[in-house]
Amino acid sequence: MSTKADTLPASQGEPITASASPVEALPKGTKRKRSRTADVSKSSNVSEGAPGPAPPKPSPNKRRRKDSPLAAADEAIHQSQPEDEIETQKKRKQAEKAALRASKAQEKASKKLLEAAEKKRKREERAALKAIREERKKAEEAEKKIKREQRAQKKTWKKDWEAFVEAHDVHGETVDWAEDEEKEGITQTDAGKVYGLKASELVCLKHHPRFNFKFGNTTKLFDEEEVRRMAWRKVAMLAGVQGGGTAEEEDALIAKGKKMWEDG
C-alpha cells in the first residue's frame, strides 16, 4: 500500500515525492501465477454480466462427408436393417401408390359414367318430347282430316236434301179442306219456328189458302202432321241416313229422324 508524502510549498523549492510498495521483478521466461481471488472475481463477472458467445452450430444443409463419423453411423444403421424389412417397406409404398392410382381411375370412371348417364337421360328426354310432339301433330292432323271428311259429308248430305226438295216441289199446289174436316193447320212462320223448316223447303207440301180478314191477305196453312214428317225427314237426311225408296224404307227413315229430333 502506498503513502503520500507531505507536499511542500513551491516557494521553498522542495520537490514533491511519493513512496510506493516495491514490486519484485520476475526472472525472464517465468509465468506469473494467477491468484484465486482474480479467478473468483472473473467468474462472478461472467455470471453477473451477459453470457459469452455460443459455440457455432453445424449447418443442417451441409452434406455429410462420406468419411465423417455420422455418415459412417448412418451407413451402419442402414446395413443393420434386414433386407426383408426394406423390401416390405418398398412393397408397401408401391401398394399405396397403386391404390392411389386405382382410386383416381375409379373416380374418373365414375365421373364418366355419371356424364354418360346424364347425356343418355337428356337424349331420352328429347326423344320423349319429340315423340309427344309428333303424336300431338298426328292427332291434330287426324282430327283435321276427320273434320274435313265430316264437312264434306255434310255438304253431300245437304245436297241430297236439296235435291229431294227440288224433286218433290209441288209448285204452290193448294188443297181445300172441308169445313167439317178436322185438321191441325200450321202457318209457314210457325213451321219455321217450331220445326225449323224454311219457306223454300215447304214447297214440297200442299197448302190450304185461308183469307185473313184482319190483315186482308191470304195465309198459307199446312197440315201439321205432314210438316212434322217433313222435319223428321230433313233431320235424318242431313245426318246421312239413306233410304226412302219403298214405303218400309220411308217409315224407317222417318222413325230415325223422329228419334234424332226427340234426342235433340
pLDDT digits (tens, 9 = 90+) for 202-214: 999 999 888 877 7
Residue 197, classified by CB atoms within 10 Å of its CB into exposed (0-12), middle (13-18) or buried (19+), is buried
What is residue 208's three-state secondary structure?
strand
- Locate 89 and state its grid cell: 417397406
- Is residue 4 predicted with pLDDT exceeding 90? no
pLDDT digits (tens, 9 = 90+) for 145-161: 999 999 999 999 999 99
Matching residue, cell 508524502: 5
Domain residue extents for the chain: 86-152, 168-263
Q: What is the pLDDT of residue 87?
A: 81
| Per-residue pLDDT band at 133 (split at 50, 70, 90) | very high
| Dihedral of the alpha carbons of 227, 229, 231, 234, in degrees to the nearest 10 | -140
Identify which of 201, 196, 191 has the alpha carbon closest to the alpha carbon of residue 222: 191
- Is residue 93 predicted with pLDDT exceeding 80? yes
| Per-residue pLDDT band at 37 (split at 50, 70, 90) | very low
- Locate 19 and state its grid cell: 513512496
Alpha helices in 168-207 (DSSP H): 188-195
Is beta strand 217-223 parallel, antiparallel or unpaired with respect to 18-19?
unpaired
Q: What is the pLDDT of residue 124?
A: 95
pLDDT digits (tens, 9 = 90+) for 102-130: 999 999 999 999 999 999 999 999 999 99
Average pLDDT taken over every residue of the chain: 77
Tell if the pTM clears 0.85, that is, is over it: no
| Per-residue pLDDT band at 89 (split at 50, 70, 90) | confident
Q: What is the pLDDT of residue 129?
A: 95
- Is residue 28 predicted with pLDDT exceeding 70? no
Task: Give me the helix-helix angle, 224-238 and 188-195, nearest 10°.
Answer: 40
Q: How far apart are CA 231 and CA 194, in angstroms?
A: 10
242 vs 52, residue with greater confidence: 242
221 in Cβ contact with 184 (< 8 Å): no
Q: What is the pLDDT of residue 72?
A: 66
- Locate 156 and state its grid cell: 253431300
- Count other Cβ atoms within 10 Å, centred on residue 256: 18
Q: How far apart are CA 240 and CA 261, in angstroms?
A: 14
Q: How big is the CA angle at 178 (ends 176 and 183), to the nearest 5 degrees?
A: 90
247 vs 77, residue with greater confidence: 247
pLDDT digits (tens, 9 = 90+) for 171-200: 989 988 766 566 778 999 999 999 999 999
For residue 52, what are the contacts with CB-CB under 8 A and spacing of at least 6?
A: 46
- Is residue 45 predicted with pLDDT exceeding 90? no
- Locate 225 and state its grid cell: 202432321
Class of domain 168-263: alpha beta
Provide, rounded to the nearest whole percent, the portion of the chain with pLDDT above 70.
Answer: 67
